[in-house]
Structure 1
Amino acid sequence: IDLMLMCIYYVFGLTDGSDVTQTPLLWTKEGQSATMSCNHTKDATYYQMYWYQQLPGQNMKLIVFTTTTPPHKYEEGFSEEKFPAQKKVAQTGSLTVNNSKPEDSGLYFCAVSEHSDAAD
């Protein structure tokens, strides 16, 4: 029997308005990679992007904080090898899940924030 497991990624965007759009639903076969994109229509001061993962029955976890100037900041338990992120311009970014496994299936969120000198 050829058993094919699917990984499902639901993607949501978060800001203080409805200015973020993302890949809404993504299916992939086990072992393949899946790339989710996130775009916003705010100005270029909103160049900070956060990617979150929420697995079934678990709390949301931050995967990575990205800006237009790498390196990106990965949280403990997440690696650039498994979750490579791209952020070349302020208004768009992407997150890839490499070597998809059924346990990677869940909700993935992107959020954008404005650069603040107070945060430095």
Structure 2
Amino acid sequence: MGGRNNEHNNIHDQVDQTPADIYTKGEDVKIYCSHSIQSYDEILWYKQSEKQLQYLGYMNIDKGYPETGVNVTMEGNANKGKNCTLTIKDLKVSSSGVYFCAASYHSAAHHSTSIQKPNKHN
């Protein structure tokens, strides 16, 4: 096997997400994600709760694209070595879940598999 897949062995170790804290109702919460993967220029955000995975949106380079109806904002930069911030506004009980960030490579001709690392928030 050759090509692009060989360079991504254990690539999940190259995606970092902080902090791993617990928050209270009414707060605004910031979760940070960065990666060290050359050429990857997207950060995707997900929330898992009650066995359901919800797609929250993504950052492409320096623009955030949250899904309609999701109470979050996305800022920062999705390139290698930069920080991307997911802000969850006005926490509610329904905000509880495990939040994931994923690094991704995107071009008009190719979109790679996402790499995820979980972060718990109750």
Normalized against structure 2, the TM-score is what?
0.71
CA contact (8 A) 1:68 1:90 kept: yes
Counting aligned pairs with the same residue, the percent is: 26
The alignment's TM-score, normalised by the length of structure 1, stands at 0.72
Confirm whether residue 21 of structure 1 aligns to residue 16 of structure 2.
yes
Superposed CA RMSD in Å reads 2.1
**For 1:66 and 1:89, how far apart are their aligned partners in 2?**
6
Report how many residues are paired. 100
**Residue 35 (1) aligns with residue 24 (2):** no
Structure 2 SS opposite 1:116:
coil
Instruction: Give 5+ residue unaligned stretches, structure 1.
Output: 1-14
Conserved in 1, the CA contact under 8 Å of 2:33 and 2:85?
A: yes
The structural deviation recorded for 1:19 is 0.5
Counterpart of 1:60 in structure 2 is 53
* Higher helix proportion: 2
* Structure 1 runs, 4 residues or longer, greater than 6 Å off: none
Corresponding residue number in structure 1 for 2:69: 77
CA deviation map 1:65-92 (0-9, x unaligned):
211242x3232431xxx20111335132
Local SS of the residue matching 1:103: helix
Residue 86 of structure 1 aligns to a residue whose secondary structure is: strand
Which of 4, 18, 41 matches 1:47? 41
Q: Which has the higher contact order (CA 8 A, sep 6+)?
A: 1
Instruction: Give yes or no for the alignment of 1:100 onto 2:94.
Output: no
Q: Tell me how far apart the structure 2 counterparts of residues 61 and 51 of structure 1 sit (CA, whole Å).
A: 9
